[in-house]
Structure 1
Amino acid sequence: MFSIISKCRPLTQFSDVSKTLIALSSQSTAVLKEKSLREKDVLKKQIPECRHVYPEFLPDPKVEFRNVIREKLERSDMVARRTQIDIGEFYVGSVLAVTSSDRHAPGKTHRFVGICIQREGCGLRASFILRNVVDHQGVEILYHMYDPTIHKVEVLRLEKRLDDKLLYLRDALPEYSTFDLNMDVEILPEGAPIPVNPIKVKLKLRPWLERWERQNLMGVQDLELPERFYIRAKERETPWEKYDLMKEYMRTIPEEEQLEIFSGVQNELHKLESQRKKMKRKRIFIKPSKLA
């Protein structure tokens, strides 16, 4: 009887050790789960900002153009390109200066300053259009954001406009699209919200390139058209589309997929953003000179 009890003692000790190990492992898994949930919550809060700052990282919502492997490869190429060139935060309405290679230019490089009137595309096909009036002539250049011939992208004035596209500047007065080619950088305080320019543009008289009265533009003054134009525009309106949930779903990327996309590139983008802020602080700081 005593021998059986003595043999069973190691088993009880082993069971106690195993229980403690199981408890520790369960606690560690619980801590890891809590940490992952916390990171997901932080990333969910950052998704709206990333969606507006880096819209080209989101894929095309059209199903026929989707390819998961190609999208991942493109995102890695985009991050690698951003490590070579500083592409700052900008929106439609911001004033940029782009320096690119040009074999016909005297110094083999060309610098163009203009206002961003359109930003579209996704992945490596992302592009934007800059517009300026040079010698009383409207000039527009379309740049592919990740084009290897681009040397530098400078954000001279960071701001937004009331509309998502400013293509109506083509039919506006020249002063709304005229910017100094030697314009200096306007620095915003760190952490300040992006300013929204409430200016309303005055368009020229018809004919126009598009039917602007049918596009519900907020950044345009009264078009001063006859009543029949507004009646026709009212007939062409489709106000029910904003309630079409299926159509809205088909032209957007779900939040779960956005979370998966930005979780893969968030660390690299955060490092690049912190480096850009450090360089910005160095430019702002002016070393005081010694007094005689």
Structure 2
Amino acid sequence: MDIDVRPLLDIRENPEVPPFGPGDTVRVHLKVLEGDRERVQVFEGVVIRKRGGGLNSTFTVRKISHGVGVERIFPLYSPLVQKVEVVRYGKVRRARLYYLRERIGRAARIKERRVTAQGKGQR
């Protein structure tokens, strides 16, 4: 019983996901199923990590909600992720921003990276 896995591994770029990286503030539109209803939930925060390069690639977004830090891991190629908007591009020198977990208030700010119209999203 031979199974051809090549069509299954074909990665299709989601046109609703622009190029982004750690330090960028993103707004993720996620489809949530509640019983027989379906709605879109928006999660906005700072990308603190991106991992993987294939179908299993994920990114972690951190936000502060009512004074409590909330982190959520999103699969990049999930059909539940409807859209990702980049709110602002951040200027960081690390790929993993775990140090933001210990920082609060102004200490957790990230400088903004100036992006020209032509080089939008270029890292």
The TM tier, using the shorter chain, reads 0.7 to 0.9
The corresponding residue for 2:42 is: 111
Identity of aligned pairs, percent? Answer: 24
- Superposed, 1:56-135 pairs within 5 Å as 73-74=8-9, 76=10, 78-79=11-12, 81-82=13-14, 85-104=15-34, 108-135=39-66
Structure 2 distance, partners of 1:130, 1:192, is 24
Cα pair distance change 1:111/1:73, threshold 3 Å: same
* Superposed structure 1 runs of 4+ greater than 6 Å apart: 193-196
| 2:92 counterpart of 1:161 | yes
Q: Judge conservation of contact 1:120–1:128 (CA < 8 Å) in 2.
A: yes
The DSSP-based 3-state class of the residue aligned with 1:102 is strand
Rg comparison, structure with higher value: 1
Q: What TM-score do you get using the length of structure 2 for normalisation?
A: 0.76
| CA distance in 1: counterparts of 2:84 and 2:115, whole angstroms | 17
For structure 1, the residue ranges without an aligned partner over 5 or more in a row are: 1-68, 178-186, 197-292
Which of 70, 74, 79 matches 1:143? Answer: 74
- TM-score if structure 1 supplies the norm length? 0.35
Residue 190 of structure 1: aligned partner: 117
Between structures 1 and 2, the one with greater strand share = 2
Residues 58, 75 of structure 2: 8 Å contact kept:
yes
Answer yes or no: is the 8 Å Cα contact 2:58–2:73 preserved in 1.
yes
- Could you list the runs of 5+ residues in structure 2 that have no partner in the other structure? none
Instruction: Report the aligned-residue RMSD.
Output: 3.0
1:169 alignment partner, SS class: helix
Cα pair 1:160 1:195 within 8 Å, conserved: no
Q: Distance in 2 between matches of 1:97 and 1:117?
A: 14
**Which protein, 1 or 2, shows the higher relative CO under an 8 Å CA cutoff with sep ≥ 6?**
2
Would the aligned equivalents of 1:71 and 1:123 in 2 still touch at CA under 8 Å?
A: no
* Larger helix percent: 1
Q: Partners in 2 of 1:102 and 1:155 — Cα distance?
A: 21
Task: Say whether the 8 Å CA contact 1:126–1:146 is kept in structure 2.
Answer: yes
- For these two proteins, the number of residue pairs brought into alignment is 114
The reply to whether residue 172 of structure 1 matches residue 103 of structure 2 is: yes
